Chains A and B, each alone.
Chain A
C-alpha cells in the first residue's frame, strides 16, 4: 500500500504540473480545462484498467490499521485539514499563497512570483486529490472500477463554496454532504411507497439548497482568473 500511495502522489503531482501548464502558463480557461482534464482522466484510467486485466480488477486487502474506527486515510484527511488551515492563515508562505489568489497583480508588485506560486499550489492540490482517490479505492471499496468516484469531486466544489474557501468550514460542509448521501441510502428503508429516486436525490438537492441559501459567496477575488504579467 505504501508503494501505491507514493505512486499516487507522484502521478497526482504530474497531473498538477500538466494542469498548471495549461491553466497558469498558457493560460486558458480553468473551468473548461478542468472539466476536459477530468473527462480525460476517466477515460485513461478505464483504459489502463482494461490493459491491466484481472490483476487490476482484483480487490485489495482492506487496511488493517484502524484508530477509533477510522483508517489512516481518514485520520490524514482530518489532520491535513488542520495543517492546511494553519499554513494558509497563520504562516507567511500561506499568506503569499492566498495573496496570489486574492490579488495577483498586487502580489506580483510585492515581489511574489505569481505563476510559480500557483504552479506549486496546483501540484500540491492534485496530490491531495489523488490521495482522495486512493482513500476511495483502497480504504473504502478496496477495488478499482470504471469511474469509481461517480462525480463526487464536483460535490467537493460545492463544499468549497459553502465553506467560503476556508479548509475547516469546507471539511464541515463535506461531512454534511457525506451525511446526506448516507441518509439517502438508509432512508429507503423508511417507506416502500416513496420512490427510491426521491431519497437518492437528497445529497444533490441539499447541494443546491446550500448553495442557494449561502447567498453570493465572495471567494478570493482572482480565483479562476488567469494572470498575465504586464
Chain B
C-alpha cells in the first residue's frame, strides 16, 4: 500500500515537472527560430521580436486598472506585428530580476517593466545587459545620457491625479473623499498629491483620507479600508491598487458610494459603483512603441506621457447631468491651462 502510494506521488511530481518542462522547451525553440540576443533592430533585420514582461499582480488581464490597460496594449503587439509577447504574473518585486534574467537567457529582444515598483531592478539590469532592450513605464525614472538600450515612458501621475481630483471634488456630496493605495511606491505620492491639490482648488473644504493596504492584492484588506472610510462619511473613492480593487468595489457598492476607475474603464468589472474612470491610453502608447521599434526610431530618452494620453470614460448616467457637465467643463479648462492646480508634492503621503 505504502509503496503504491509512494509511486503515485512520485509519478504525479514527475508529470508536473515534465509538463512545466514542455512549455519551457517550446519557448526555447521559439528563441532558436527568432534568432539571437540582439538589442532592438529595425524591421529589416529582425522580423519577429520577442517581448517579455511581468506583473506584480495575479491575472493582470482582468484585475487592476493599470495592469489591465498595459496588458491589453502589450498583447495588441502580437496581433499587430506577430511578435511573441510573454507575460509573467504574480511576480513579487524581489523576484522581478530573476524573471528578467530568464527572458534574457531565452533571447528575448525587449523587456518591459510596467510598474514603478520595478524601477530598482530596471536600473540594475539595463547597464549590465546591453544586448537586450529595456522599456520602463514609470513616473519617476530617468535615462542617463550614455544609455544605449533603454527608453522610459514617464507617466505624468500628478496630472493624472489632478484629473481624478477634479472628478472626485465635483462628485462628492459629503465633501469627504477616500484614496486607497496598494503599496506606497513613488508614483503614488505624485498621483495622490495631484488629487489632493485638485480637490483643494475646487473646494478647500473637501477632506481627503488616505489609507494603504500594504499590498496590491489583499481583497479583504481593501474592503475593510473602504468600509472604515465609509463609516467616516466618505462617499467617493479612488483606488490606486491592483487585484485588491475588487474589495473596494464590493464595499462601495454595498454602501452606495461611488468609485473612480483607475486607468481602464472599470465599469464592466463593477457596474454597481463605478461612476467613471480616468483612462490612461496605454493601447495607443504600445501601438506607438510598436511603430517606433519597427521603424528603428525608438530613442534612448524619456518620453513624457502627459494629458494627451488621459481622458474620462463615459459616466453612463451615474451622476446628474449638471455634475457631469461641470466635470467636463473643469477638465477642458484644465487641458487648456485655464483651470490651474497648484503643484505641491505631499511628501508625508508615503509615511
Interface, chain A (partner B; CB < 8 A): 21-22, 25-26, 46, 49-50, 57, 59, 62, 136, 140-143, 145-148, 150, 182, 185-186, 188-189, 192-197, 200
Contacts and interface: CB of A to CB of B under 8 A. Distances in A.
Interface in B1-36: 1-2, 5-6, 9
A21 B351 contact: no
Contacts of A148: 219-220
Contact of A196 (B5, B184, B209, B223): B184
Given A22-B5, A196-B351, 12 more contacts: A25-B1, A59-B250, A59-B253, A140-B220, A143-B247, A145-B217, A146-B58, A185-B211, A193-B348, A196-B212, A200-B212, A200-B214
Given A146-B90, A147-B217, A197-B184, A22 B9 contact: yes
Contacts of A200: 212-214
A189 B209 contact: yes
A72 B247 CA distance: 21
A185 B224 contact: yes
Contacts of A185: 211, 221, 224-225, 228
Given A21-B5, A147-B217, A141 B246 contact: yes
B158 to A, nearest CB: 19
Range class of the B interface residue count: 35 or more
A188 B178 CA distance: 13
Nearest to A228: B2
Contacts of A145: 58, 63, 217, 219, 243-244, 246
B59 interface: yes
A147 B218 CA distance: 8
Given A148-B219, A197-B184, A188 B250 contact: no
Nearest to B223: A141
A192 B246 contact: no
A141 B62 contact: no
B321 interface: no
B212 to A, nearest CB: 4
Contacts of A46: 58-59, 90
A59 B254 CA distance: 12
Contact of A143 (B9, B213, B250): B250
A140 B246 contact: no
B217 A150 contact: yes
A36 B122 CA distance: 32
A129 B248 CA distance: 26
B209 A197 contact: no
A25 B5 contact: yes
17 contacts: A25-B5, A26-B6, A46-B59, A59-B249, A141-B219, A141-B250, A145-B246, A146-B59, A146-B63, A148-B220, A185-B228, A189-B232, A194-B351, A196-B184, A196-B211, A196-B214, A196-B351
Question: Which residue of A145, A192, A193 has the most chain B CB atoms within 10 A of its CB atom?
Answer: A145
Contacts of B214: 196-197, 200
A57 B254 CA distance: 18
A186 B209 CA distance: 12
Contacts of B254: 62
A46 to B, nearest CB: 6
Contacts of B253: 59
Interface in B209-268: 209-215, 217-221, 223-225, 228, 232, 243-244, 246-247, 249-250, 253-254
B183 to A, nearest CB: 9
Contacts of B62: 57
A62 B243 CA distance: 20
Contact of B250 (A26, A57, A142, A189): A142
A39 to B, nearest CB: 12
Contacts of A197: 184, 212, 214
Interface in B45-101: 58-59, 62-63, 90
A49 B209 CA distance: 33
A22 B2 CA distance: 9
Contacts of B244: 145
**Most chain B CB neighbours (cut-off 10 Å) among A46, A59, A62, A196:** A196
Given A192-B348, A195-B351, A196-B214, A136 B220 contact: yes
Contacts of A150: 215, 217-218, 220-221
A189 B224 CA distance: 14
B9 to A, nearest CB: 7
Contacts of A147: 58, 90, 217
